[in-house]
């Protein structure tokens, strides 16, 4: 029993695991040379913005890059011009910080408990641009972040008591004898195959769930 619950707990932890996507926000990052720098995330993933940073004495203060970052609509992204100061997301303004580079994180979640938090949706794209603080030129760095749609994946391992229904009661949910390649039938999301869960089945548990 203890082993079963340990396996179940590990499976639940896997389900809520989130990836982090670091972006080094400075003009020397070659990914910004392309006009369509794009990062693909899923809900609950994090975007980590790593600001410019310089060791003491390596660069004159005037040459240190500093940026104001904005979360904008597509039109402002295309023009690389923010609409208002209300779109300011972060400021990279401590390039010589003793503790190392400043970091800012965006969690791509559907709902947020914070009044000023941002909510994100699957299948949508979001746009970040920056304006330099260290000079008054028109240099612009920009990033597109796409929140991938929800894949109709199936996982073996959670019993009826956790899901509430047997496999036969769930549309498209195959019996345990179905070959572990792809779930038959139509996917609820266009273009998204029904993939089998990446985890071991728990003996005696034949229910599959969609995630």
Residue 117: inside a domain:
yes
pTM over 0.85: no
Residue 59 clears pLDDT 70, i.e. is over it: yes
Long-range contacts of 174-177 (CB under 8 A, 24+ apart): 174/208, 175/206, 176/201, 176/206
Q: How confident is the model at residue 29 (pLDDT cuts 50, 70, 90)?
A: very high
My answer on whether 34 and 122 are in the same domain is yes
Cα(186)–Cα(204) distance, integer angstroms: 27
Nearest residue to 106 (alpha-carbon basis) of 50, 51, 45: 45
Any idea which residue has 């034949």 for tokens?
206
My answer on whether 103 and 199 are in the same domain is no
Whole-number percent of the chain with pLDDT over 90: 52
Q: What is the mean pLDDT of the chain?
A: 74
Residue 10: inside a domain:
no
Q: Of 100, 125, 147, which closes a domain?
A: 147
My answer on whether 198 and 105 are in the same domain is no
In degrees and rounded to multiples of 5, residue 87 shows phi and psi of -90, 0
Pairing mode, if any, of strands 67-72 and 20-24?
unpaired
Query: How many domains in the chain?
Result: 2
């Amino acid at each position: 029993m203890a082993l079963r619950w340990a396996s179940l707990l590990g499976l639940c932890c896997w389900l809520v695991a989130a990836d982090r996507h670091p972006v080094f926000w400075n003009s020397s990052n070659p990914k910004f040379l392309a006009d369509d720098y794009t990062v693909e995330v899923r809900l609950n993933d994090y975007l980590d913005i790593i600001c410019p940073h310089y060791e003491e004495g390596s660069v004159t203060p005037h040459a240190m890059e500093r940026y104001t970052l904005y979360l904008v609509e597509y039109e402002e992204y295309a023009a690389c011009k923010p609409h208002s100061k209300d779109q300011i997301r972060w400021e990279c303004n401590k390039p010589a910080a003793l503790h190392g580079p400043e970091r800012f994180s965006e969690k791509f979640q559907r709902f947020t408990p914070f009044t000023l938090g941002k909510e994100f949706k699957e299948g949508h794209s979001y746009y970040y641009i920056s304006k330099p603080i260290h000079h008054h030129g028109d240099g612009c760095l920009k990033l597109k972040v796409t929140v991938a749609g929800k894949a109709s994946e199936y996982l073996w391992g959670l019993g009826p008591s956790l899901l509430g229904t047997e496999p036969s009661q769930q549309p498209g949910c195959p019996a345990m004898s179905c070959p572990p390649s792809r779930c038959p039938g139509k996917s609820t999301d266009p273009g998204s195959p029904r993939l089998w869960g990446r985890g071991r089945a728990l003996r005696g548990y034949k229910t599959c769930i969609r995630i």
